[in-house]
Amino acid sequence: MMTKCAIALGSNLGDSLNILETTITLLSQHPSIELISHSPWYQTTPIGPPQPDYLNGCAILETSLTPENLLETLLSIERKFGRIRREKWGPRTLDLDLLLYSDLILDTPHLKIPHPLMLERAFVLVPLSDIAATWVHPITKKTIQDHLNRLNYEGVKQLIS
């Protein structure tokens, strides 16, 4: 059985555009994942310590993986690109977050679904609204577009390539 889910992608170290595009390819080639769509890429102002701007986007997947196995797959892809977790909100070659997994609500020590900070982050909601504006958040019962409408997203600019 396949489950629809949403992930966020981000990078601000190295060749970020190439890293993100390659990640999309890796996800689409995974035997338990079907890439449904992905958003355009956005240049975004970073949160946290001084660092380069990010490139961010989102993707919709269908997967037969459990949420935990999908998370491990995402972490494995991060490691392929040299992701090292040094400081909270620090710069990174690749950041992959599991945002939504159908309408599942999950709260474990290692995984929280929906992602607990997604509704506060324009760099997540802008690209997610491009591909899933009508997806209803399982806790708030409001659409992604409803949540985006209440945020300031002037630091999020679509990358024109």
Smallest CA-to-CA distance from 45 within 35, 53, 37 is with: 53
Helix (H) / strand (E) element for 131: namely helix 122-132
User: Annotated catalytic, 97?
Assistant: yes
Report helix, strand or coil for 70: helix
Catalytic residue among 15, 53, 85, 95: 95
Catalytic residue among 53, 79, 83, 150: 83
Tell me if 44 sits within 8 A of 56, measured CB to CB. Answer: yes
Phi, psi of 29 (to 5 degrees): -90, -5
Catalytic residue among 15, 79, 85, 92: 92
User: Annotated catalytic, 83?
Assistant: yes
Cα distance between residue 73 and residue 67, in whole Å: 10
Catalytic residue among 53, 97, 103, 146: 97
Report helix, strand or coil for 80: helix
Radius of gyration of the chain (CA): 15
User: Annotated catalytic, 92?
Assistant: yes
Name the residues annotated as catalytic.
83, 92, 95, 97
